[in-house]
Amino acid sequence: MSYPGAVIDTFTLIGLLSFPPYLLYWIVYHVRLRATRRLWRALIALVAWLIATAALFLLPMLACMAGGCAGKVSPFLQLAVLYAFSSVTIIFLMHWFRAKYPE
C-alpha cells in the first residue's frame, strides 16, 4: 500500500468508526440517567453524520468508480481529512452540549 493510500484509509476509517460507537455510548448514557429529553440531539447528530458520510465519502467514491476521476488528481485525501474532522467535530459538539446544558 502506498503512503498516500494509507493516510487516506486512516482518515476515512477515523470518520467511519469514531462516531457510531460514541453515539451508542451517548444514547445508553442518557437512557440510564432517564434523561430522554436529550435524545433528539442524538438524532440530529446522526443525520449530520449521515449527510457528511454521503457528501464526503459515498458520493465521491461512487463518482470515481463511474470514471469521474479518470485523468485527474484524486481529491480523496482532502475529503478523507474533512470527513474525519466532521466526525470528530460532531462528537465534540455532542459532548460540549451535554456539559453546557446539564439536566
Domain that holds residue 89: 3-100
Spatial separation of the C-alpha atoms in residues 81 and 66, rounded to whole Å: 23
Domain count, the chain: 1
* pTM score: 0.80
pLDDT tens over the chain, length 103 residues: 567 778 888 888 888 899 999 999 989 988 998 888 888 888 999 999 999 989 888 888 888 777 777 666 667 888 888 889 999 999 999 889 888 887 6
The C-alpha atoms of residue 35 and residue 14 are separated, in whole angstroms, by 29
How far is residue 80's CA from residue 74's CA, in Å, rounded to a whole number? 11
